[in-house]
Homo-oligomer: A and B are copies of this chain.
């Protein structure tokens, strides 16, 4: 092969987890691994009606090349929604992306030089690490407690191009950052000229109360905010958005245009058609209620089955539990044993940029029926009990 790879390609490798988890696609495995929203939540009928209307009313526009910024009414909808949550932005600051994953790639492309610093949480969203990796950053992972990055840890981020945060029901830890911590971090970051990239795919999936307002509210000129329709509508449409300070928007737009010209106009118009008359305020509560039932099932199962020495918090929204196993248990090594017994999870190590904690794992509660959740957790407990026995 004559192809010479770019140096950055060395950092572009399939995640170990992806390979391991291919086995979980076998029937009969209770997979608590996938970060997949529940298909029971997908608004199929609303989509069907919306497709029909779009192809009846504006087929030529929907199927033609379109502006890289995105479909105007959808950008306006996003701006209005964020306004209702206290984040005042103009539609002109909203860039529609092919999923918020693309937003991460564009942010990396515009802000990261090889060797420049990027600060992330411990743990953080693996897909973000993968999006940033091609730009060859030096990643600093900040010490966290159950409320997110510790303010005193922020000093380690000095000089970084940005601090990447998921404050709402984080994938993978499930934690939701308090208002107090948001305030402290937002101000401290602004004071040290550290921009924030705030990623919010799960913020609508709250169970008890809405999360606090975004950090972007406190530092709008210093924050890039990412949102997504994947968890409140459906991921297969690949629709997300980036909200950027005006000064930064043109470069993100240019990166977007070069990356794929524009996010499918058809999908944007269909989604806008679905959501324009308040559909989400009816739909999302049903998703929340479903996910809460599942969360409760997992909470109870963990309580019932797991041996002493495990630690976890009960998430107040989102899709995930994050478990800390007893010291010395390697969740990656343990996974094949779990799969043998008939369940799967995601080992937590890959969610750390560095200094991974091997005794962690992520459980997803949204896809598997509640009764299956209990079975899966029981199998996990058996696997763990065996691992502890072998370690002793």
- Distance (whole angstroms) from the CB of A10 to the closest CB of chain B: 10
A112 on interface, CB distance cutoff 8 Å: yes
Asked if B110 and A9 sit within 8 Å, CB to CB, the answer is: yes
A1 to B247 Cα, complex, angstroms:
7
Closest partner residue, chain B, to A159 (CB atom): B4
A333: min CB distance to chain B, Å: 24
- Chain B residues near A156: list those with CB within 8 A: none
Task: Please indicate the chain B residues that have their CB under 8 angstroms from the CB of A48 in the complex.
Answer: 51-52, 55-56
Is there a chain B Cβ closer than 8 Å to A184's Cβ? Answer: no
Q: How far is the CB of A37 from chain B (nearest CB, A)?
A: 8
- A256–B5 CA distance with the chains assembled, in angstroms: 15
Among candidates B3, B105, B245, residue contacting A259 with C-beta atoms closer than 8 Å: B105
Give chain B nearest CB distance to A5 CB in angstroms: 6
- Considering only CB atoms, which chain B residue lies closest to A34 in the complex? B65
Q: Are A260 and B8 in contact (CB under 8 A)?
A: no
Contact A237 to B266, CB < 8 A, known contacts A1-B221, A9-B110: yes
CB distance from A13 to the nearest CB of B (A): 6
Q: Which of B13, B42, B61, B195 contacts A59 (CB 8 A)?
A: B42
Between A14, A64, A193, A236, the greatest number of chain B beta carbons within 10 A of the residue's beta carbon is seen for A236
Question: Interface on chain A toward B: helix, strand, loop, or mixed SS?
Answer: helix
Instruction: Determine, out of A85-93, A95-103, A343-351, the stretch whose residues face the partner at the interface.
Output: A95-103
A264 cross-chain contacts in B, Cβ below 8 A: 98, 236-238, 264, 267
Chain B CB within 10 Å, residue with most, of A60, A133, A194, A250? A60
Question: CB-nearest residue of chain B relative to A239?
Answer: B264
Q: Which of B4, B98, B248 contacts A98 (CB 8 A)?
A: B98
Known A-B contacts A2-B193, A65-B235, A248-B3; the reply to A13 vs B111 at CB < 8 A is: no
Interface residue ranges of A235-293 to B (CB < 8 Å): 235-238, 245, 247-248, 250-251, 253-255, 257-267
Q: Are B63 and A222 in contact (CB under 8 A)?
A: no
Question: What is the interface size of chain A, counting residues whose CB is below 8 A from a CB of the partner?
Answer: 83
Contact indicator A254/B6 (Cβ below 8 Å): no
* In the complex, A62 has a CB within 8 A of chain B: yes
Identify the interface centre among A8, A60, A61, A266: most chain B CB within 10 Å of its CB. A266
| Contacts A62-B236, A99-B260, A264-B264 known; 13 new A-B pairs at CB < 8 A | A1-B221, A6-B110, A14-B250, A36-B65, A48-B51, A61-B236, A66-B236, A97-B260, A98-B238, A101-B259, A109-B134, A130-B257, A264-B267
Q: List 14 contacting pairs A-B, 8 Å CB cutoff, sorted by A.
A: A1-B247, A4-B111, A5-B110, A5-B111, A6-B161, A8-B109, A12-B255, A62-B236, A64-B236, A99-B261, A105-B258, A237-B264, A259-B259, A266-B267
- Pairs A-B, 9 closest by C-beta atoms: A63-B234, A39-B60, A63-B236, A51-B51, A44-B59, A236-B265, A2-B193, A130-B258, A102-B260
